[in-house]
Amino acid sequence: MTEKTDFPRIGPMATPMAFVSDIHGNLQALDAVLGVLRRREITTVIACGDHLLGGPDPLGVWRRLQEIEARCCRGVSDRAVAIVDPSALTPRNAQDEARLEAFRQTQETVGELVRKQLSQLPESIRIPMIDGREVVAVHGSPADPTVEMSHDLSDDELEARIDDDPADIIVCGGTHVPFRRDVHEWAVINVGSVGQAPEGRNAHFTVLSPRMDGIEVHQDFVEY
């Protein structure tokens, strides 16, 4: 069982915030996003999980997230890197063996301290806005952080995964496909993927700009 801590509540936020997800160890893609954010003078970054596994520089990604003081929640692969013993896994074919070796290398590269830090990340982060509304950031969904909210779900299916969460805006990742949907009284925003976008070398990110009369949402990407 992993340890879990909660970050102090951020806010009430009155300045733009960037949300990213699914960096997957791709430091080049993350740095491309951060370059855009610096030019836009956006300094608050919330990362919605799956930070390290799957790319060439997991330790570099973790160090960069710490350097910019990003608020991070825990994704499915983060939990696996933190606690799964690869010797207990049995690959069924050559593809599984390659994935297992990549998993082992990620654990070895980041080391025990980072794995412990991953285990202590919260499953969600709540952010009050200056207009009185609340944002919740999670990797999967409020009902279950391991269950994704994808663009092809019906409103009823999305509502079940929201699970009566008190937040007004749910920001998530997991699927690598960005979208925005209004579902009854909630806005669901999937921020896509920084490091493994389906369309190739594009790094997705979303900026939320609080206003007294609402929140402006801008979904974007940068090539790298």
CATH number of the domain that 140 lies in? Answer: 3.60.21.10
Total number of domains constituting the chain: 1
- Examine residue 2 and state whether it is found in any structural domain, yes or no: no
- Examine residue 11 and state whether it is found in any structural domain, yes or no: no
Q: Calculate Rg over the CA atoms of the chain.
A: 17
- Examine residue 30 and state whether it is found in any structural domain, yes or no: yes
- Examine residue 141 and state whether it is found in any structural domain, yes or no: yes
- Examine residue 12 and state whether it is found in any structural domain, yes or no: no
For the chain, 224 residues long, give each residue's pLDDT as a single digit of tens. 344 444 445 668 889 999 999 999 999 999 999 999 999 999 999 999 999 999 999 999 999 999 999 999 999 999 999 999 999 988 899 998 999 999 999 999 999 999 999 999 999 999 999 999 999 999 999 999 999 999 999 999 999 999 999 999 999 999 999 999 999 999 999 999 999 999 999 999 999 999 998 899 999 999 99
Entry pTM: 0.93
- Examine residue 206 and state whether it is found in any structural domain, yes or no: yes
Q: Report the distance separating Cα 77 and Cα 79, nearest Å.
A: 5
Range of the domain at 50: 17-223
- Examine residue 1 and state whether it is found in any structural domain, yes or no: no
Whole-number pLDDT of residue 167: 97
- Examine residue 8 and state whether it is found in any structural domain, yes or no: no
